[in-house]
Chains A and B, each alone.
Chain A
């Protein structure tokens, strides 16, 4: 039993990170119908910038803040320089652009920083906490709390604020939103900033546990994407549940099946979801207007 508990705890921790990445996917997808394959690079940037700002002598909270803000800025730049000029391009082109962006960001990062693995100290020490015979790192609690806080924050933002509702309106119907006076271009910018900032936050939270290097983004993007698909693309609740489920599934696969095939879980899930229920757990059936 302690064994299972241990797998569950580590699964939820990893799942919380996937959930944050999946939430990032969801926000951009809702605002612009773009599946942003550079989402994982935001997480990487969050970790890397914090590491180097911290090494330069800044206190950790300030370094993390700088990382999140600068990554949000990069998200806005991505939208302004690469996505907006290509508005109306076919899906294939947009996918290539975001993949190109992810490769570009990776290339720049390895030049500006380096190719080494880095970490910074955990926020509340490395003393494991005992829970029902299993242990959990204090940092894992930070990660889980971060995911929950972001989810609740987003929920309040989208349901209680005027700006949040404007974003929702834009995702429902861009033209109608523009007709009632919503600046949809600005909504796009905001969505990219928000999504990049959330990705960077995930990077900041998880780096003390998993370490960071310039190339950790691809795997995170693919798994966050799998999580978003599992929950139903475009649905924030789905992103959260999908992320946690995927993390659990991975931890259980590693524990009971084969640690080599831990990473396969995500992709088996993708295929299974597409075969059985392409809308995901919480997705709506959609129809196209001709």
Chain B
């Protein structure tokens, strides 16, 4: 049987998530793994926006911040279950993306980058300044999701890091599956068409503004859910989650690994999440390295690391 690219991607991803723990020397690696999955989820959203539709957002961390603080604030103030708070955060992010995206996405070019940049920074600023509710720059505690206790009562006793590894891994798989389905749906085709040429897309009857708006809203929801998962996992969150640098990291992860493919982008998330862990010895050089990697990959491997490497391998094989 010949597997489609979608099935291959999901299979490879599932295998990596399931098999990696056999090589983990300590429980610390579960933690790094779940961080990669959380970032991977946000980056999968970026694939939809940047890889499919060719739009760039420099403020997606703002949506991650909304998701994260929804999980911190809604259970404490509204009495919502954390899982519902995640949904609430995603809904708020989606609506906000819709309201901001609607006027902006009728325009072409880098306007979305600018608008999202402003939006993201405003969210981060509000989170840091409204300390009467958000706890300010020092951060705030987040309620327990409670799922681990439920699993334990069913006889499945996982350590905290193991549970979050499995849970975020599953979330990433679902996110990747949805994004891959979107790729071949009418909306996905419309997005890829307008990526090539907006005018050409319009002449074949695609509502360009609407398609771009859909991509922006969907990717905002991905970022929001990723922020929620991060908050629930850490049980603590600071406004840094919404910061400008986090937005830049998201885009860099996607573009570094290969924004055109879900697997590539998640690969990028893996590399950039591990880089600081590996470079702790060279903490001084972290920024220098990050900047250098960003420039080199963009200059020499425009498709991103994974697609470029794959092409190299295939080229050799033939």
Residues of A within 8 A of B (CB): 35, 82, 85-86, 89-97, 99-108, 110-111, 218, 222, 225-226, 229, 260-261, 263-264, 266-268, 270-271, 274-275, 278, 288, 290
User: B302 near A89 (CB under 8 angstroms)?
Assistant: yes
Compute how far the CA of A95 lies from the CA of B254 in the bound complex, rounded to whole angstroms: 14
CB-based nearest A residue for B294: A100
Partner of B294, one of A103, A108, A275: A103
10 more CB-based (< 8 A) A-B contacts, given A104-B295, A218-B244: A82-B295, A93-B255, A97-B298, A101-B291, A104-B287, A106-B287, A107-B286, A107-B291, A261-B125, A271-B118
Min Cβ gap B8→A in Å is 26
A96: B residues at CB distance < 8 A: 251-252, 255, 294, 298
User: B199 near A95 (CB under 8 angstroms)?
Assistant: no
User: A85 near B121 (CB under 8 angstroms)?
Assistant: no
B113: A residues at CB distance < 8 A: 95
Instruction: Tell me whether B271 is interfacial, beta carbon within 8 Å.
Output: no
User: A103 near B115 (CB under 8 angstroms)?
Assistant: no
Given the contacts A96-B255, A103-B290, A107-B290, A86 and B298 also touching, CB distance less than 8 Å = yes
Give the number of A-B contacts (CB < 8 Å): 125
User: A92 near B118 (CB under 8 angstroms)?
Assistant: no
Q: By CB atoms of chain A within 10 A, which of B108, B111, B129, B295 has the most?
A: B295
User: A100 near B118 (CB under 8 angstroms)?
Assistant: no
Residues of B within 8 A of A (CB): 50, 54, 56, 58, 100, 103-104, 107-111, 113-115, 117-119, 121-122, 125, 129, 199, 244, 248, 251-252, 255, 259, 284-295, 298-299, 302
User: A92 near B299 (CB under 8 angstroms)?
Assistant: no
Partner of A229, one of B56, B114, B129, B284: B114
Q: Tell me the interface secondary structure of chain B in the complex.
A: helix
A104: B residues at CB distance < 8 A: 287-288, 290-292, 294-295
User: B117 near A270 (CB under 8 angstroms)?
Assistant: yes
| Listed A/B pairs (26) with beta-carbon separation below 8 Å | A90-B54, A92-B54, A92-B56, A93-B298, A94-B298, A99-B252, A99-B294, A100-B252, A101-B291, A101-B295, A103-B294, A104-B288, A104-B290, A104-B295, A105-B291, A107-B289, A107-B291, A108-B288, A111-B284, A218-B244, A225-B114, A267-B117, A271-B119, A271-B122, A274-B111, A275-B104
